[in-house]
């Protein structure tokens, strides 16, 4: 089979011919139909992600595929079942082995491409806004990077939870995507002063930040009293230092959030969240946005779309 592998840190990942893996106890072998890319894949390729495996390894954190073999002790999902799974790696390939317990059946109403890019982006925003930030209806939700893979889902879920959503993105085209997802107010990070614009809209009660850098600092300055700031990631490449005096004066809470971390200490939180999200999708409440679908031999181009910030929503690779 073909797989898009990191052989050594510092070198570009490349397609490799490998023997098809064999599922061990508790695992299933999937014929992969689609793999959703995440910003973390870029970090993992460079060896800078918090859960980076030792090379060689295959990139691709989340997939949709069909079960073609089961390891010892596995009864479900059955052979022939279409599932989505967050495996952390191994998705940019024609086949892959994944823990059976993490697989979720994909409803007929959801395409392979949608399912492959659904779990991390929607799961991140849903758990961050419900469990961690406890976003309330009527509050002002400020979403930075609002047209990106996770940011766009935060706009959509925040709106579904009854918040007033203020979306920050770069340029008119990306803001139009955020508007379509339900954003009430739009701020162009290229031309607008984020802090001034947000304060003019009543300030932020909750900040959703996958960007970091100067945008984080501006958002912090626009927070209302008792605001909650959710730190999702640092797509800008700049991890900001937080001035504690601002937190003190306004009683602001800064909340760290790592979706994948729940696999290790409370996986039920993830499965319950995804079950609710799947139900929302089936009801037509969520409309996932996939901006690009590329072939496996174009995987490097797919990563570059994210690296250069030319994508909106999800980028998906199909073998």
Predicted confidence (pLDDT) per residue in 85-95, tens digit: 998 999 999 99
pLDDT above 90 (res 187): yes
For position 100, what pLDDT does the model report?
94
Can you give the pTM of this predicted structure? Answer: 0.87
C-alpha distances in Å from residue 213, one per residue of 91, 242, 308 = 30, 11, 17
What proportion of the chain, given as a percentage, has pLDDT over 70?
A: 100
- Residue 142, pLDDT score: 98
Indicate if the pLDDT at residue 266 is higher than 90: no
Residue 265 pLDDT greater than 90, yes or no: no
Instruction: Quote the pLDDT of residue 125.
Output: 97
Could you tell me the pLDDT band of residue 111, with boundaries at 50, 70 and 90? Answer: very high
Cα-flanking dihedrals φ and ψ of residue 244, to 5°? -65, -25
Which domains, ranges and CATH numbers included, belong to the chain? 2-118+288-318 (3.90.180.10), 122-259 (3.40.50.720)
Is the pLDDT at 214 greater than 90? The verdict is yes
Lowest-confidence range among 144-153, 173-182, 278-287? Answer: 278-287
> In the sheet that 164-169 helps form, which strands lie side by side, from edge to edge?
185-188, 164-169, 140-143, 204-209, 223-231, 253-256
pLDDT at 237: 84
**8 Å CB contact between 188 and 162:** no
So what's the pLDDT on residue 52?
A: 86
Residue 51 token pair: 């859960």
User: Would you place residue 260 in the very low, low, confident or very high pLDDT band (cuts 50, 70, 90)?
Assistant: confident
Q: In the predicted model, what is the mean pLDDT of residues 65-89?
A: 95
Top-confidence residue, 138 or 268: 138
- Check whether 268 has a pLDDT greater than 90: no
What is the predicted pLDDT for the residue at 272?
87
Mean pLDDT of 180-189: 96
Q: Is pLDDT above 90 for 98?
A: yes
Q: Which two tokens stand for residue 178?
A: 């955020």
104-105/82-86 β-pairing: antiparallel
Distances (CA, A) of 287 to 137, 156, 300, 315: 21, 8, 27, 15
pLDDT tens string 299-311: 999 999 999 988 8
Rg of the chain over CA atoms, in angstroms? 19
Q: Would residue 268 be called left, alpha or beta, if left means φ above 0 and alpha means ψ between -120 and 50 degrees?
A: alpha
What does the pLDDT read at residue 51?
81
Looking at residue 313, its pLDDT comes to 85
**Mean pLDDT of all residues in 77-83:** 96
pLDDT at 270 over 90: no
CA distance 287 to 282: 10
pLDDT in tens, 33-56: 999 999 899 999 989 888 888 999
């Amino acid at each position: 089979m073909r797989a898009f592998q990191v052989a050594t840190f510092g070198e570009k990942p490349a397609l490799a011919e490998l023997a098809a893996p064999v599922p061990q106890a508790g695992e299933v072998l999937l014929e992969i139909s689609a793999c959703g890319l995440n910003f973390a894949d870029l970090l993992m390729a460079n060896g800078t992600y918090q859960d980076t495996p030792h090379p060689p390894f295959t990139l691709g954190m989340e997939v949709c595929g069909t079960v073609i073999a089961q390891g010892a002790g596995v009864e479900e999902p059955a052979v022939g079942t279409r599932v989505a799974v967050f495996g952390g790696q191994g998705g940019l390939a024609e086949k892959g082995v994944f823990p059976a317990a993490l697989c979720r059946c994909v409803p007929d109403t959801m395409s392979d491409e949608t399912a492959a890019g659904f779990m991390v982006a929607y799961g991140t925003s849903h758990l961050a806004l419900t469990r961690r930030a406890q976003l309330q209806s009527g509050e002002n939700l400020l979403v930075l990077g609002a047209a990106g893979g996770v940011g766009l889902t935060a706009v959509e879920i925040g709106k579904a939870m009854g918040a007033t959503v203020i979306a920050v993105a770069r340029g008119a085209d990306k803001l139009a995507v955020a508007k379509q997802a339900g954003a009430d107010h739009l701020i162009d990070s290229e031309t607008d002063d984020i802090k001034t614009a947000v304060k003019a809209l009543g300030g932020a009660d909750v900040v959703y930040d996958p960007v970091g850098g100067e945008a984080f600092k501006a958002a912090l300055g626009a927070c209302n009293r008792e605001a909650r700031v959710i730190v999702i990631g640092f797509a800008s490449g700049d991890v900001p230092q937080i001035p504690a005096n601002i937190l003190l004066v306004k009683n602001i809470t800064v909340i760290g959030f790592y979706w994948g971390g729940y696999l290790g200490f409370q996986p039920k939180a993830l499965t319950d969240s995804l079950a609710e999200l799947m139900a929302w999708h089936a009801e037509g409440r969520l409309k996932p946005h996939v901006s690009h679908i590329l072939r496996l031999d174009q995987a490097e181009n797919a990563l570059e779309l994210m690296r250069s910030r030319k994508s909106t929503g999800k980028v998906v690779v199909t073998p």
